[in-house]
Amino acid sequence: MKKRPLGRTGVSVSALGLGCMGMSMAYGTRDDAESIRTVHRALELGIDHLDSAELYGDGHNEELLGKALKDRRAKAFLATKFHNGVKNHRNPEGIAEKGTAYVKKACEMSLARLGMSHIDLYYVHRMDPVNPVEEVVAAMDALRKEGKIRFIGLSEAGPDTLRRAAKVAPIAALQTEYSLWSRDHAEKEILPTCRELGVAYVAYSPLGRGFLSGQFKAPEALPANDRRHEHPRFQAEHLAKNAALLPPLESMAARKKCTPAQLALAWVLHRGDDILPIPGTKRVKWLEQNIAALDISLSAPDLAELDKAFPPGVTSGTRYPEGAMKQLGR
């Protein structure tokens, strides 16, 4: 497995990671046995960067990974996240707490669900709505000094927030959505700021929540209980316009004898060695297909062709529903 550096930490992780959210929520029904097989197969193939959160299935995802990694902890680089103000086991009323005591509480509850003594990379899932980032990061740094976490990360933070955080403690990684159909928010300010500060950029949903696989060209192609029905980009008025973007991707994939999804992943991998994509899946079949993207070579003309087909801002519809959009880029 090819490795990539985690910012300036001195640690390297697998060039391709595994997003675990779909094992517990959002995309169809759970299948814990298959999810555990997928985690085990990922480790066998050299994928060590696993991404979770307390929010995923209200703790279910961390419990699931705890079971999957019970006798394999040393093989994994485990990332998870906490979120002030989200309704969950830790915070049944969903009230954002003033002060940062919740940071330690959230970490200890995650460690208990995982059955582990430490978390490798601990993220703020969304920026705290009531406490300054400096105070939140200071509380995270205290956890680092206690040995409960190894590295600090931010998720969906804006460039100014990242700079403020980096003045308090070393920030190892920043995570946002990045793919051929989600370029503008990352490329304009986030990636340049990460590179300026030496922060790794973790790209979630590098397949556009599955859209770039070419399987979801109409809303009815999604499972009935799939959360993507709530996302504007997957609703009929936007999805028809977005589906019209796919032919160049499908055409190049046919020429290269790979799938559109593999080609879309290869594009993200070619955007820089400081980018760590974490495509999500709960199926061994899709995991094995994803890993083949590491062997796809894209020339300068190939990249130019894809850039022309998917320029920043071309996608119709916002990334999230209106309420969730307000939590991004703070």
pLDDT, one tens digit per residue, over 258-314 is: 999 999 999 999 999 999 999 999 999 999 999 999 999 999 999 999 999 999 999
Per-residue model confidence (pLDDT) at position 140: 98
Written as six digits, the tokens of 127 are: 């920026």
Q: Name residues whose C-beta falls within 8 Å of residue 20's C-beta, 6 or more positions apart in sequence.
A: 35, 39, 50, 51, 52, 56, 61, 64, 65, 280, 282
Per-residue model confidence (pLDDT) at position 330: 85
Is 50 part of a structural domain of the chain? yes
Which structural domain range is residue 168 located in? Answer: 3-214+261-295
Is 285 part of a structural domain of the chain? yes
Beta bridge partners of 19: 51, 280
Average the pLDDT over 61-79 and give the result.
98
Q: Cα 44–118–54 angle (5° rounding)?
A: 85
Residue 218: name the closest of 192, 245, 196, 239 by CA: 239
Per-residue model confidence (pLDDT) at position 26: 86
Is 225 part of a structural domain of the chain? no
Is 79 part of a structural domain of the chain? yes
Is 236 part of a structural domain of the chain? no
Q: Cα 97–99–104 angle (5° rounding)?
A: 90
Q: What residues act catalytically?
A: 56
Is 307 part of a structural domain of the chain? no
CATH number of the domain enclosing 61: 3.20.20.100
Per-residue model confidence (pLDDT) at position 138: 98
Is 87 part of a structural domain of the chain? yes
pLDDT, one tens digit per residue, over 80-108 is: 999 999 888 888 999 999 999 999 999 99
pLDDT band at 323 (very low <50, low <70, confident <90, very high): confident
Give the start-end residues of each E strand in 85-243: 119-124, 149-155, 173-177, 200-204
Cα→Cα distances 4→7, 42, 72, 287, Å: 9, 16, 21, 19
pTM, two decimal places: 0.96
Instruction: Please count the structural domains in the chain.
Output: 1
Average the pLDDT over 180-203 and give the result.
96
Is 41 part of a structural domain of the chain? yes
pLDDT, one tens digit per residue, over 121-152 is: 999 999 999 999 999 999 999 999 999 999 99
HEC profile of 292-313: HHHHCCCCHHHHHHHHHHCCCC
pLDDT higher than threshold 90 for residue 325: no
Pick from 50-54, 143-147, 183-187, 280-284: least confident: 183-187
